[in-house]
Amino acid sequence: MKLIAGNSNLPLARAIAGYLEMPLTDASVRRFADDEIFIEIHENVRGEDMFVIQPTNHPANDNLMELLIMIDALRRASAKRITAVVPYFGYARQDRKPGPRTPISAKLVANLITQAGADRVLCVDLHAGQIQGFFDIPTDNLYGAPVMSADILSRYGGQELTVVSPDVGGVARARSLAKRLDNAPLAIVDKRREKAGESEVMNIIGDVAGKFCILHDDMVDSGGTLCNAAEALKAQGATDVVAYCTHGVLSGNAAERITGSVLKELVITDSIMATDEVSDAHNIRYLPIAPLLGEAIRRIADESSVSSLFD
């Protein structure tokens, strides 16, 4: 088994390598003058079980091309098996046709990874579970809930907890976390805009008065939904609101928005490398997922059960 990484999240790749007590494969990722990507692997990988660690976050297209080119290089170097380890799978929100003449880009990206030569894919908290079916190769979708639930119980276990889904579509995800928190109660934020041009109205389904609320989602991008949901929960009598999200996309001025919100803190994993703005935010905290990914990689290499990680 060997690990190799692109430039998307080198700190995470090094942490995974540290957990597995093995070095990253020596490789260089360079750019030509016209920004074409060139990858050269400086070690023999013939017959090796290769794991390519590369989230496809911003800049999504550059990071995706790095992943595809690295897989192609390994395939042409006669690697025995290639597993694409994609902690954050970009384009996942384009998993269906929202209207006529629109693409299903998540399926396109799945096809690209498969055709490049990957034999297996390992992701964390896909935006939609059905994306696993977009791949024609074995796909493991790890869950951040076990890591998050342990952190919640250690920090806020003494509080009267209620898990809140920020929208109706995330209810199953929030319920899964609630079960891990000793079957904590569940609430839902229902967003409605009665007419075009009118501000969004947020209704809370469930009792949150006097409760310590845990907002849970798979990703946070602009932060607008989380911040608005936190305000609605506080208005309904919640004592405090903390948000736990697996992927901190945090584009634009999201970090500033989170810092100025009523959120006590936003907790995200290090599936995406932090920007300077996010690192400087006083109420944004990171949970490491290198042990989770490292253990899954070890089990895939050993041909043992990955699902038992979540029992």
Residue 191 main-chain phi, psi, to 5 deg: -95, 130
- Residue 193: pLDDT band by 50, 70, 90 thresholds? low
How buried is 32 (Cβ within 10 angstroms: 0-12 exposed, 13-18 middle, 19+ buried)?
Answer: exposed
The single residue of 2, 97, 107, 191 carrying the catalytic annotation is 191
- Tens digits of residue pLDDT in 126-180: 999 899 999 999 999 999 999 999 999 999 999 999 999 998 889 999 999 999 9
> Known binder of ligand: residue 276?
no
**Residue in 53, 70, 64, 49 with CA at minimum distance from that of residue 16:** 53
> Known binder of ligand: residue 159?
no
Catalytic annotation on 97? no
Within 98-247, where are the H helices? Answer: 105-116, 145-156, 171-180, 224-235
Separation of alpha carbons 145 and 147, rounded Å? 5
> Known binder of ligand: residue 58?
no
pTM of the complete model: 0.93
Q: What is the pLDDT of residue 308?
A: 87
Mean pLDDT of the chain: 94
For residue 201, what are the β-bridge partners? 192
Q: What is the pLDDT of residue 202?
A: 79
> Known binder of ligand: residue 231?
no
Cβ atoms of 283 and 251 closer than 8 Å = no
> Known binder of ligand: residue 224?
yes
Q: What is the DSSP letter of 119?
A: S
Q: Report all structural domains of the chain as residue ranges with CATH numbers, in order of start.
A: 2-143+291-310 (3.40.50.2020), 145-287 (3.40.50.2020)
